[in-house]
Copies of this chain bind each other. A is one copy, B any other.
Amino acid sequence: MEAVKPKRRTRIQTEKREIILEAALEVFAQHGFRGATIDQIAEAAGMSKPNLLYYFRSKEDIHVTLMQRLLQTWLAPLRELDDIDDPITELRSYIRRKLEMARDYPRESRLFANEILQGAPRVMPMLEGELKDLVDEKAQIIRGWMRDGRIVRTDPWHLIFAIWATTQHYADFDVQVRAVLGPDRGAEGRFEDAARFLEQLFIEGLKPKG
């Protein structure tokens, strides 16, 4: 294992890199990697293009840095799923955490969705490595619950996919959800309704019969 370069950073470097990443998140999430331009990111970050390129060597460099951080944030809720509480409580709070992430970090969700849609050209190794390992591990826990009859038997992997799909839908397809539901109910109301619905769908459906 090679040690990563020391990368000593001045105070200004640390701050400006942060500002750039925040701006890039906004722009990448809205336009995708190819659709975003360095000029847009620079403007959103309040600096000139050459100035931005002083802090990141290239557009790709920004994107890679962003995706690395993002994946850690993204996997956090699933990492917390363990065998401590009872299955229903564990799954309920996993779904809630995931939905809260979709509500509070929609740009991160869209950035990730964009990357996967394009075929994950920059994160495929992480999907096949870190992500797969984590999902397999958690699927085994869920499978254990099923074997013990504590929740109904079903496919744990597809259960996880379904939780991802339904929760992230509220971030990725937000404009569609808003268009269909109309302006009657604000963002808070939508998420309350979604939380109630998803809890019923997954939790009631998973409780063991009788």
Residues of chain A at the chain B interface (Cβ within 8 Å): 30-35, 110, 113-114, 116-120, 124, 127-128, 131-132, 135-136, 152, 154-155, 157-159, 161-162, 164-166, 168-170, 172-173, 175-177, 179-182, 193-194, 196-198, 200-202, 204-205
* Extra pairs beyond A32-B117, A128-B179, A131-B176 (16, CB < 8 Å): A32-B114, A32-B118, A35-B118, A113-B117, A113-B172, A116-B172, A116-B173, A117-B117, A120-B176, A127-B176, A152-B204, A158-B193, A158-B197, A164-B169, A165-B166, A165-B169
Least CB separation from A196: chain B residue: B155
Residues of B within 8 A of A168 (CB): 165
Select A162's contact among B31, B33, B158, B166, beta carbons within 8 Å.
B166
Least CB separation from A113: chain B residue: B117
Residues of B within 8 A of A204 (CB): 152, 205
How many copies altogether? 2
**Minimal beta-carbon separation of A185 from chain B (angstroms):** 10
Across the interface, do B120 and A154 meet the contact criterion of CB distance under 8 Å? no
**Minimal beta-carbon separation of A153 from chain B (angstroms):** 9
Select A194's contact among B116, B131, B158, beta carbons within 8 Å.
B158
Least CB separation from A155: chain B residue: B197
